[in-house]
Chains A and B, each alone.
Chain A
Amino acid sequence: MQRFLLRRLVSLALSLLAASLAIFLVIEVVPGDPASYMLGLNASPETVAALRDQLGLNAAPPARYLAWLGGMIRGDFGISYTYKVPVADLVLQRLQVSLPLALYALALTAMLAFPAGLVAAARRGRAADAAVMGATQLGIALPNFWFAMLLVLVFSLHWQVFPAGGFPGWDSGLGAGIAALTLPAVALALPQAAILARVLRSALIETEGQDYIRTARAKGLTRGQTMLRHALRNAMIPVMTILGMQFSFLLAGAIIIENVFYLPGLGRLIFQAITQRDLIVVESVVMILVFAVILVTFLVDLAYAAIDPRLRRRA
């Protein structure tokens, strides 16, 4: 198990290094001058030269890469060109919204998907299965911003139980923060839960056909018992894969939902940085997102090994 962990950690570090190099190359080295791009078409040559100097673009690319990498390791991501504040502060501030939102949405996703998937698989071909399959089909087909608007109409305008948008900050109390994130989290979770429920259902149905399920039934287990004690754990591998991908998506992919609810999250930060051509912010946020994705993949790999004893030795 220790060797497994060590190997995974080495591969994690290498993936990060490779990703940082790719991002650096795309943004800084590929033809086109970042400084003139950031300043737009009407900038004077002097301004561009000044910015080049300020960004350190006159140094050789390898030196620039090492400086950038070293800065990130120290937690120094540079100063945002538009906001004039350190990128690290900016990102930390936004993560305080995006990370809880992603985790909240993920928890809701699992809470909705597991019962739905289990019921559908257990009652395969019956009314309950048809209902779950119909609902999930709808959940996948309808975009999450549409759910968001519907939720605002019902829960904010009609019943007035949750705020319609904005984020008061965690200073104003845990309850207020959670309340502000509830409708966005639900809107994000519904389509994701629909996907996950379907994945769980088909994984369970496939597992139910395995020989060891028949063996378990021959021991005297009921269908429900075989599903919970034998099928579910075996069906968790594809489910964990999807959950990992969903978390990565939720962290950065919530741009539309953040816009609908006026939430100062990471997604909006990237969107604004791109429109304002703030390459320093774009570069750093992309790197942080890549880090998050790789970290989640690492955790999913650990989860695989925890679930399946066969994977502990092999990897």
Chain B
Amino acid sequence: MTLLSVRNLSLSIGRHPILSDVSFDIGEGQIFGLVGESGSGKSMTALALMGLAPASARVRGTAQFGGIDLLAQTERQMTRLRGRDIGMIFQEPMTALNPMKTIGDQVAETLLVHRAVSRAATRTDAQAVAAEKLARVGLPTDRFPLSLYPHELSGGQRQRVAIAMAIALRPRLLIADEPTTALDVTTQAQILDLLRGLAADEGLALLLITHDLAVVADMARQLAVMQGGRIVETGATEPLFRAPRQDYTRRLLRAAEHRPARRPPARSTDSSAPLLSVEGAVRDYILPRPSAFAPHPLLRAVDRVSFSIRPGESLGLVGESGCGKSTLTRAILGLDPLQGGAIRLGQAPVTAGRTMPAALRARMQVVFQDPYGSFNPRHRVSRLVAEPFHLTGRPPDADRRIAAALEEVGLSAADRHKYIHEFSGGQRQRIAIARALIIRPDLIVLDEAVSALDVRVRAQVLDLLARLQESHGLAYLFISHDLSVVRAVTDRVLVMQSGRIVEEGATEDVFADPRHDYTRRLIAAAPKIPETWKEDADADAD
């Protein structure tokens, strides 16, 4: 039985078409995947179905849902459908809940708004149902009282609250827009399990929107691939992965599995002196006093961590959020002081603040995750890229070097006159790399540097990084929560848990035969496209 039948959904804002003739069907109780890169129109499709598209949007087409056309409903009619027949959850669990209301009240609100169908006449009734629903999503009241506020919960727990709100009235369709993109792999696996269980137990259909092909492969029976506001391909998941009909789908699949061609560092470097050595590094945070005269408790974020990076080597650092990756990174970059141990770059000690000589700082550069937030929007690219010159003094041939750095990362010398908003996310990340390269450092710290990029752009940036490593003999410290990327681009890998390195070894060995329980769990939790599906696609491509 078809639950939702979308036909020729088109949406435009002003004269810009955002969606064109989007058509697909979702059966009762089915998990339907909608995949595509950012800006492909996935989220807008969901918002249009919910009647939550921007006020200036013009929507055409039909969306038959249980005998009514969602696109023809008035706002008043839609408010009755939303939350009752169609639930929706969003990407950012950190901001999706009202920070000023308790989780009990927020779940209960769904019931109270639809009082007529929920039979929850009072706040007490609604709270009772809310407790039941929160228990269903894994937040039992004895451990997670209704009186908790969102800031007292982790990201995964908040996403559970959002799911409880969306399913409180047992809707027939749940739209999940990138529900796990902001979560760690193990949390992602739990949330996906929960969604799968809800679909099976409550007979609820799930429209799963994601950019992650592995997640879809794992979850959805049917899927549609979107590009530029159109559906380019749709069908059953497995056949579509095995034998994609469209070139775009094929490129997307290939990019998701992309491994840049890398030459392993020469064996001879094994014995050479390490470029960076971290010896027993300890980093404590001072927490607020529990009572007025008690001493400050300490949080040990980095606990006696030791490792080294050789010149020209690529070292991966993986672990879930909160494990201490970023704290360690800040110490390595000389931004925060250590409470124990030492970090050396070459022979010189890395120290925090002004005590670290500029010449030493110039040997390390960093590329951050967010290609939007890490540039001053009021400066031209030439000035942005030239920033590291304050460590070395501006050379007489600075202009030539700016142009050369931009060309090295695949941009043109003329781009130096532009402002940062004129570039796409992938181009901005290239500019960040150019900025890191311009003073010829020995080590570049890549802190989730490709995590925010779409698969195809990510593949290109990874290729660029591999090429630059070879040509400049760069060493990389590659920090990521994305295991598949780390596997593709590093020689050795460190696995970090609660401030400690729990496993270390050659990347292939660690992934093929993880020793530590935590590493095993991480690898098991990462969604994968089944190997047997890929061979066909590869064969097709060749």
Contact = CB atoms under 8 A, between A and B. Distances in A.
Interface string B131-156: 00000000000000000010100000
Given A221-B113, A309-B149, A215 B292 contact: no
B79 A233 contact: no
A210 B76 CA distance: 22
Interface string A218-251: 1111100100011001100000000000000000
B113 A225 contact: yes
B96 A220 contact: no
A46 interface: no
B12 to A, nearest CB: 19
B113 A214 contact: no
Contact of B113 (A3, A220, A234, A308): A220
A214 B90 contact: yes
Interface in B29-87: 50, 52, 75-76, 79-84, 87
Interface string A191-228: 00000000000000000001110111111111001000
B151 A309 contact: yes
A218 B79 CA distance: 8
B122 interface: no
A310 B82 contact: no
A309 B100 contact: yes
B295 interface: no
Nearest to A210: B95
A41 interface: no
Contacts of A218: 50, 52, 82-83, 87-88, 90, 166
A233 B101 CA distance: 10
Nearest to B114: A220
Interface in A277-298: none
A307 interface: yes
B149 A310 contact: yes
B162 interface: yes
Nearest to B110: A219
B486 interface: no
Interface in B283-303: 291-292
A217 B52 contact: yes
A215 B109 CA distance: 11
A219 B118 CA distance: 13
B52 A234 contact: no
B97 interface: yes
Contact of B52 (A6, A211, A214, A230): A214
A220 B95 contact: no
User: SS class of chain A's interface: helix, strand, loop or mixed?
Assistant: helix
Nearest to B86: A218
Given A218-B166, A220-B83, A308 B96 contact: no
Contacts of A310: 99, 149, 151
Nearest to A229: B109
Contacts of A221: 79, 83, 109, 113
B408 interface: no
Contacts of A234: 98-100
B317 interface: no
A98 B88 CA distance: 54
- Of A6, A216, A230, A233, chain B has the most CB atoms within 10 Å of the CB of A216
Interface in A256-315: 307-310
Interface residues of B, number: 32
B92 interface: yes
Band of interface residues on A: 20 to 34
Contacts of B88: 218
A210 B90 CA distance: 12
Interface in A45-85: none
Interface string A108-129: 0000000000000000000000
B49 to A, nearest CB: 11
Contacts of A215: 90, 96-98, 162, 165
Contacts of A216: 98, 109
Contact of A308 (B76, B83, B99, B291): B99
Contacts of B162: 215
B110 A212 contact: no
Nearest to A3: B292
Contact of A220 (B97, B110, B291): B110
A212 B79 contact: no
B76 to A, nearest CB: 8
A254 B476 CA distance: 65
B98 A212 contact: yes
Contacts of B76: 222
Nearest to B290: A3
Of the candidates B90, B95, B99, B100, the one having the most CB atoms from chain A within 10 angstroms of its own CB is B100
Contacts of A229: 109
Nearest to B102: A309
Contact of B100 (A217, A219, A225, A307): A307
Contacts of B101: 230
A210 B94 CA distance: 11
Nearest to A219: B83
A220 B83 CA distance: 5
Contacts of B292: 3, 6
Nearest to A218: B88
Given A211-B90, A308-B100, A220 B52 contact: no
Contacts of B166: 218-219
A75 B30 CA distance: 77
B149 A219 contact: no
Nearest to A215: B96
**Most-contacted residue by chain B among A6, A210, A212, A222 (CB, 10 A):** A212
Given A3-B292, A220-B110, A212 B83 contact: no
Nearest to A125: B55
B98 A230 contact: yes
16 contacts: A212-B96, A212-B98, A215-B90, A217-B52, A217-B82, A218-B50, A219-B113, A220-B80, A220-B83, A220-B113, A220-B114, A222-B79, A308-B100, A309-B99, A309-B100, A310-B149
Interface of B: 50, 52, 75-76, 79-84, 87-88, 90, 92, 95-101, 109-110, 113-114, 149, 151, 162, 165-166, 291-292
Interface of A: 3, 6, 210-212, 214-222, 225, 229-230, 233-234, 307-310
Given A218-B83, A307-B100, 12 more contacts: A3-B291, A211-B90, A211-B96, A218-B50, A219-B82, A219-B113, A219-B165, A219-B166, A221-B109, A234-B99, A308-B99, A309-B151
10 residue pairs, one from A and one from B, having the closest CB atoms: A220-B83, A219-B83, A211-B95, A218-B88, A220-B82, A212-B98, A309-B149, A219-B110, A215-B96, A211-B96
